A = this chain, B = another copy of it.
Amino acid sequence: MTSFNKLGKQSIVFPNPVSITSFASIVGPKEKQGPLGDYFNNVLEDNYNYEKTWEITEHKMLRHSLEIALQQKGYLPSDLDYFLAGDLLNQIIASSFAARGLAVPYIGLYGACSTIVEGILLGAVLLTGSFGKKIGVGTCSHHDALERQLRFPTELGVQRPLTSQWTVTGSGSFILENTQDKSMITQGIFGKIIDMGISNAMDMGSAMAPAAAATIDQFLKDTQRTPQDIDLIVTGDLGNIGRNLCKDLLSEKGWDIADNYTDCGILIYDPSQDVHAGGSGAGCCSSVLAAYLLPQLLEGRWNNMFVVATGALLSPTSTQQGETIPCIAHGVLIEKR
């Protein structure tokens, strides 16, 4: 390989065909009741789904979304060269336990809610280097498992401020192959950490918006595009507050994204569902991408979309120690062929 596959300062281009050949999603009952309810492949009976703990339910969700994605192509786990996954539980146990018994080389990732695009980009990088032919990528989150880990005991039902977001119970998995298929991964960008000094862990949207804006701005510059050259720009889980902030920040840089921009955390719930600022979690962007965005792309609603998954890289420990929130956003351009 002699050509250099970077575009501009920070973006990358995939010179050979890399496609998302299959994808699947599974969510909890609350997500089923949302506006995208009919699009998910599968829905949990309740947040336990016959398991003893929420953590087990979460890892089985990820395993299940991967298995559906495999089955749709008639593949077995053993057909995969790698499984890249991550989640928000401490030591990403949902991903590691989902990978247990798969017997597939496993690459654990942590990018908080940005993980799905981090994984898709690394999967495309592995395929570009001819290190494999079929790669599974998936993420998940579970509202009840995460709330008690990051905030308060879930059963306590502590009142949440209006800036807070609701962790999605859901998982999305994707099969990547170096073939020419209908949805192609053509360009991408790994984000830099942006920390604007926000320390309120109940307002992740505001914390993450500058990272999303920085990644979108850099990608547009690197690829010499305007926002109007992309049919849909979609962030991972900025929610209402973060979405507006991201739009304003990009407007300051001279980019008008008002007409073709949305956010997975806004799409997944209806305002009547009392989720306050919107959805979040590592399973938010991945389940919406698998259930709604990719199918709509394939149906021709858009010809290309730039998916920017956003992550807040804090922990309860860092918050308790008074640290501000480092945030990141990774982006991938997916085109219909």
Known: A106-B190, A107-B122. A99 touches B321 (CB 8 A): no
Chain A: how many interface residues by the 8 Å CB criterion?
A: 65
Closest chain B residue, CB of each to CB of A86 = B110
CA distance A269 to B10 in the complex (A): 42
Contact of A91 among B5, B106, B315 (CB under 8 A): B315
A333 at interface by CB-CB < 8 Å: no
Residue contact B110 to A92, C-beta cutoff 8 Å: yes
Contact of A318 among B4, B5, B97, B193 (CB under 8 A): B97
CB 8 Å contact bits of A321-336 with B (1 = contact, 0 = none): 1010010100000000
**Beta-carbon contacts under 8 Å, A80-115 to B:** 81-82, 86, 88-93, 96-97, 99-112
Residue contact B6 to A128, C-beta cutoff 8 Å: no
A221 at interface by CB-CB < 8 Å: no
Contact of A317 among B55, B103, B132 (CB under 8 A): B55
A126 at interface by CB-CB < 8 Å: yes
A156 at interface by CB-CB < 8 Å: no
Number of this chain's copies in the assembly equals 2
Known: A3-B130, A12-B131, A323-B97. A192 touches B103 (CB 8 A): yes
- A193 — which chain B residues lie within 8 A by C-beta? 96, 99-102, 106
Residue contact B90 to A5, C-beta cutoff 8 Å: no
Known: A86-B110, A97-B326, A317-B90. A130 touches B5 (CB 8 A): yes
Q: Can you list 21 pairs linking A and B with CB atoms under 8 Å apart?
A: A2-B130, A3-B130, A5-B129, A6-B130, A90-B91, A90-B316, A92-B313, A93-B314, A97-B313, A97-B326, A99-B193, A100-B193, A102-B192, A106-B191, A107-B111, A107-B122, A107-B190, A108-B109, A108-B313, A125-B131, A128-B129
Hey, which bits of chain A sit against chain B, CB under 8 A?
1-6, 10, 12, 16, 52-53, 55-56, 81-82, 86, 88-93, 96-97, 99-112, 118, 122, 125-126, 128-133, 149, 189-193, 195, 313-318, 321, 323, 326, 328
